[in-house]
Structure 1
Amino acid sequence: MRYDDLVAEARSAAAAGRWEQARAAYAGAVAERETAGALDGLGRVCWWLGDVRAAIEHRQHAFRLLVDADADEEAARAAVDLCVWYLTNLDNVVAARGWLARADRAAARAGSDVARGWVVLLQALLDDDPDRQLTGLERARALAVTGKDTALETMALSDLGLVLVQRGQEETGLVHLDEAMTSAFGGLDDLQVVVWSSCNMLAACSLVDDLVRARLWCREADRFMARYGCPFLQARCRAHFGSVLLAAGEWQQAEDELRRALAMSSEVGAGPAEEARLALADLRCRQGRLEEAAELLTGLGHTSRAAVTVAAVDLARGFASRAAAVLRDRLDRMASGDPEVAAVTAALADACLACGDTETAADLVREEAGVWQVSAHARARAVLVRAAGSVAAARGDAEAAARLLAAACDAFREGALPFELGQAMLALAEVTAQRDPDLAAVHGGEALECLTTLGAASEAARAAAFLRSLGVTPSVARRVPGVLTAREREVLALLGQGLSNPEIAARLFLSRKTVAHHVSSVLAKLGMRSRVEAAAYAARVGVARVEEGTPVRGIPDSAG
């Protein structure tokens, strides 16, 4: 096939998101003739496929050819992208600044407002002075308008939005980000700007705990993802995306994204890896897998979110005093306007209640009453209202406790936070039990259904025990069929052969504890009660039919 035909095929495949086909066609074109256009295209495609090193190598080569050909505007843009990739994918600020200097010289030679705008934008982002940052981003936006470049304008809006949110100007910043996201998903040709804007949006939503906005934009990204793949191509953004999925109750997808984030973090700084590990630890804690959660938390920094997760694990393991000490230390060092104050305060109140210190817990929620009454975000309101309800219950005020916990349930529903809803619903059931056992059974049944569907084993067991205490036989909620990983399919196959956990461990060279976790996960995903059921299923259906990454089908009726 001739060079022109290969390039045409590559461009068509890339436009449709068929990245492997595009890479093969561009590679063929480069083999025929090493041109800047083919190398530049190959580099962009490799970046989408996650091969960042190859992407950088090809685009550096393209840059040299563009400079030799006096194609200064194209050279400036290639250098700008290389600056971004070194900064965000490899966390190499030194190399990023070097490529920005090259972009600056190429843009000066080009004399283009758009080329100058891209350089000004990155100069602003790499500036340590917040005021100069804002000035530079506004200038980049103005140059984009003058040059009629929608991609640059979208990027400048997105960066302005995130910087404003970081400076506490939340409302204005989020408006800018919403406008940038609308532009990004409104047919923008520059797919890398879609990625950048999406990551900025998740970062801002993470800062202000606005998970509703994050989920809505992630849903809007579904069509883009179906065509081009996940737009969260930076490790930190992938970790944010996994955290959003975790909060939304989509735990299997969350785990997949967080593991990808960890894999992507191997060549970058510690920050993205720590965020992914923290979110995975939170997931393990919610699943009741406390030893794994504690192991993931080892060596993590002392952020507010880390403190809350560490405390949750300690509380679940019975170390209430230690949990309270961690949270008190963190709260004492937080600014009053920090968006994480609500979560830390609520967690500290829980720890104090577990220690028997009801009055301190009451003082904590009383001090933060104004926050949950005026907060714009459902999660911040709900965690404090739920904590106030728990305090009221501990003080024997069942009426106030029921009112507050019911309000917390409503707020968790508003915020689409199913795990927190299940916990609050169970607390409401416990408070209601003495005066209205029938209503308590209804609330307890809803909590059990919610927690079982999620796979929150410990909390679901607590809900089932509560229902039994009322004389109600818990109905086992049917879980949505899960996804078996390659390792879980191996374990299922060996279960089908009748092997015990120690025998499976020896066969797969795993620890017995790891095998036990895999067996539990297989049973949960298949919606089965015992390994005998799973073995019968494996023998009847055949493990080969259970493909990795696809929903498990053919679950027997007896599994529910």
Structure 2
Amino acid sequence: MATVESLESARAAFSAGRWEEARAAFAASAAVDESADALDGLGRACWWLGDVRSAIRHRERAFTLLRQTGRDDEAAIVALDLCVWYLTNLENGAAASGWLARAARAAERTTDRAVRGWLVLIGAYLSSDPRERYDGLEVARALAVQASDDGLHAMALADLGLLRVAGGEVEDGMRLLDEAMATTLGGYEGRLEVVVWSSCNMLAACSLVDDLPRATQWCRAAEEFTQAYGCPFLHARCRAHYGSVLVAAGRWGLAEPELLRALSMSEDVGRQPLVEARAALAALRLRQGRLSEATELVEGLDTSGPRATLVVAEVRLADGRGKEAAALLRAGLGLLEADDPQGDLLAAALSEAYLALGDVPGAAATLDARRADPARSLLPRGRAQLARCTGLVAAASGDAATAARRLAHALDAFERHNLPFEAARTRLDLARTVAAEDPAAAAGHAAGALRDLRRLGAAGEAAAAAALLRELGVVPGPEPRDPGVLTRREQDVLALVADGLSNPEIAARLFLSRKTVAHHVSSILTKLALRSRAEAAAYAARNRGTSS
């Protein structure tokens, strides 16, 4: 009777996200009676606490006990979780494949459509063949509908959505991901792990297409879940993705703490979150002109994925190592299917590397190869970067008129997709291109680029824009005081906003007029590129204890 009561107590703590309490209660129950239920709960609680190796050990034993007692469907689900953990947390593909096989064997005679669906879904997740993945996920989605399993359905939608976005079908993919997120964060009462996986897929997709509004909305919704349940894997991977979107959108002051947090959280939750966090932070450091820090971050970084490949190559190119950058980018392109839209950014960077090496024909051939298939799907940033690099090749070939048209097209695309760093850099390219024919227009473009680059904090590019202005006989304006630095009084006001105080309450607390408080709040929102008091409160909560 005591064991039954302790299990019930442990399950209640688990359902409420009280992981330490749940772990202790499941451990106490297992000490009295080594049951599959106690060990399974203990393993899941350990995973939520970030103790992955203990989680795996307990659930492997739970699997054995479930099989011995004929609870094969439950054993299959445990085996599938172990498969995912081995792959995503420990980067052990062989063990993941082994546990997928054990799950299939346990479920050989199952009549449960949901169990079959999870088996198909995880099998698709492990497949390296894109067509097999699509087909498997569609089968899993159909089985989820038949079984009325919201968790399985949401996960199938999330995996399909990310696949479609990565393949260039952005609108359809995002629609599936929105449905998955609405399911998991809107009263879903199934397996909590599904919320983790679908949230990571959503933010990965947003990062691919630089969709800051969608990322912000879902990250805010997921934040409520995280505050209640917490999860190092959810934090690390989602923070890295969200930070990447903030970098792309030019909100670097908000991106930096997100990426630093992702880096610290990713140390113990598997290689992939660490790779993503280091690559994203290196991209920010490079744009800030902090090349030595970017170089340190990418040292030894795994470049088997296109995003890490791109960042490492950009750092090598900025460091004057153009041949290394080109070789790395060629290898990265070789790992992708010819029609993979993620290759566009690699091809654009490769063309820049060739230009830096003086190989204009090589740069042109690289771009021509990407344009060979007009029916190929394109992602917004990749499309714009290809247009920009086409302009750079035209400029290097002496065709200034074509170069100016291509660069103007790229500039428009970057501005439409809210990519301010890329837009400012392209405006600077345009200034260089027209300088000989129209110095006045060049000065206007360079001045605009300088203004935007200074606002972003892109020190290296801003210095280049200022140098071009001097070459054109224009004295650059003085650099403004860093707009992102809060005064001490603004920091005091921000802290009280984060505590939920209204302007009149803040005024009374700090002995200020309401008008002065309103001015401080407005200044805080402007300096930190925030849109509301709620965002300011969230920013302060994330950065409590650090300097603003």
* TM over 0.5, shorter chain: yes
CA contact (8 A) 1:154 1:184 kept: yes
Distance 1:325 1:65 in 2: 52
> How do 1:462-501 residues align onto structure 2 when only pairs under 5 Å count?
462-467=464-469, 470-476=474-480, 478-481=482-485
Where does residue 194 of structure 1 map in the other structure?
195
Q: Distance in 2 between matches of 1:441 and 1:552?
A: 40
Q: Is the counterpart of residue 211 in structure 1 residue 210 in structure 2?
A: yes
Distance 1:264 1:180 in 2: 28
Unaligned runs of 5+ in 1: 483-526, 528-545, 556-560
Distance 1:143 1:392, change over 3 A: closer
- Between the aligned residues of both structures, percent identity stands at 48
Match of 1:264 in 2: 268
Quick one: which amino acid aligns to residue 148 of structure 2?
Answer: K
Tell me, in whole angstroms, the C-alpha distance in 1 between the residues paired with 2:60 and 2:327: 52
Amino acid at match of 1:282: A
Aligned CA distance change for structure 1 residues 22 and 114 (closer, same or farther; 3 Å): same
Q: Using the alignment, how far apart are the partners of 1:76 and 1:333 within structure 2?
A: 33
Stretch deviating more after TM superposition (152-161 or 296-305): 296-305
Partner-residue secondary structure (3-state), 1:221: helix
Equivalent-residue separation in structure 2 for 1:383 and 1:3 (angstroms): 62
Equivalent positions of 1:304-453 (< 5 A) are 305=307, 308-320=310-322, 323=325, 327=329, 336-356=338-358, 361=363, 365=367, 376-394=378-396, 400-431=402-433, 443-444=445-446, 446-453=448-455
1:198–1:231 contact (8 Å) kept in structure 2: no
Aligned equivalents of 2:33 and 2:84: distance in 1? 28
Choose 134-143 or 232-241, whichever is displaced more. Answer: 232-241
- Residue aligning to 1:282: 283
- Relative distance call for 1:132 and 1:323 in structure 2 (3 A) is closer
Kindly report the root-mean-square deviation, in angstroms, between the aligned alpha carbons of the 2 structures. Answer: 4.6
The answer as to whether partners of 1:467 and 1:473 remain within 8 angstroms in 2 is no
CA 1:137–1:471 in structure 2 vs 1: closer, same or farther (change >3 Å)? Answer: closer
**TM-score, normalised relative to structure 2:** 0.70
Question: Post-superposition shift, 1:277?
Answer: 4.5
Structure 1 residue 223, shift from structure 2 partner: 1.5
Letter in 2 for 1:81: D
Contact 1:89 1:234 in 2 (8 A): no
Q: Does the CA-based 8 Å contact 2:257-2:543 persist in structure 1? A: no
CA displacement 1:152-184 (0-9 Å, x = unmatched) = 222233444556778888876665555434433
1:23-38 to structure 2, matched below 5 A, reads 23=23, 36-38=36-38
Q: Cα offset for 1:252?
A: 1.0
Q: Which residue is equivalent to 1:141?
A: 141
- Where 1:285 maps in the other structure, the secondary structure is helix
Superposition deviation, residue 295 in structure 1? 4.5
Q: Does 1:220 align with 2:218?
A: yes
Could you report, residue by residue, the CA deviation over 1:449-501 in whole angstroms, capped at 9, with x for unpaired residues?
5434544332233234445551132332524359xxxxxxxxxxxxxxxxxxx
Counterpart Cα distance in 1 of 2:303 and 2:234: 24
Does the 8 Å contact 1:184/1:194 carry over to 2?
yes
Query: Does the CA-based 8 Å contact 1:118-1:140 persist in structure 2?
Result: yes
Distance 1:318 1:134 in 2: 41
Q: Is the 8 A contact 2:309 2:332 kept in 1?
A: yes
- Following superposition, the deviation at residue 420 of structure 1 comes to 1.7
Say if 1:288 and 1:230 are closer, same or farther in 2 by CA, change over 3 A. farther
- 1:252-271 CA distances to partner (integer Å, 9 max, x unpaired)? 145325524751366x5xx6
CA positional deviation for 1:383: 0.7
Q: Deviations over 1:51-104 (max 9, x none)?
A: 112222343454455556655544443333223222322233444345445544
**Could you tell me whether the CA contact under 8 Å between 1:294 and 1:313 is conserved in 2?**
yes
- CA distance 1:105–1:334, change in 2 (3 Å): closer
> Do 2:360 and 2:396's aligned partners in 1 also have CA atoms closer than 8 Å?
yes
What are the superposed Cα offsets for residues 129-168 of structure 1, whole Å, 9 maximum, x if unpaired? 7666555544433332222111122223344455677888
Q: Distance in 1 between matches of 2:171 and 2:430?
A: 34
On the 8 A contact 2:26/2:41 being kept in 1, the answer is: yes
Greater RCO between the two (CA within 8 Å, min separation 6)?
A: 2
The aligned amino acid for 2:210 is: L
Change (3 A) 1:87 1:473: closer
Structure 1 residue 325: deviation in Å? 6.0
Matched-pair contact (CA < 8 Å) for 1:386–1:405: yes
Amino acid at match of 1:185: L
* AA aligned opposite 1:145: V
| Alpha-carbon distance, 1:106 to partner | 4.8
TM-score (structure 1 length as normaliser): 0.68
Asked whether the equivalents of residues 114 and 152 of structure 2 are also in contact (C-alpha less than 8 Å), the reply is yes
CA distance 1:475–1:307, shift in 2 (3 Å): same
- One-letter identity of the residue aligned with 1:117: G
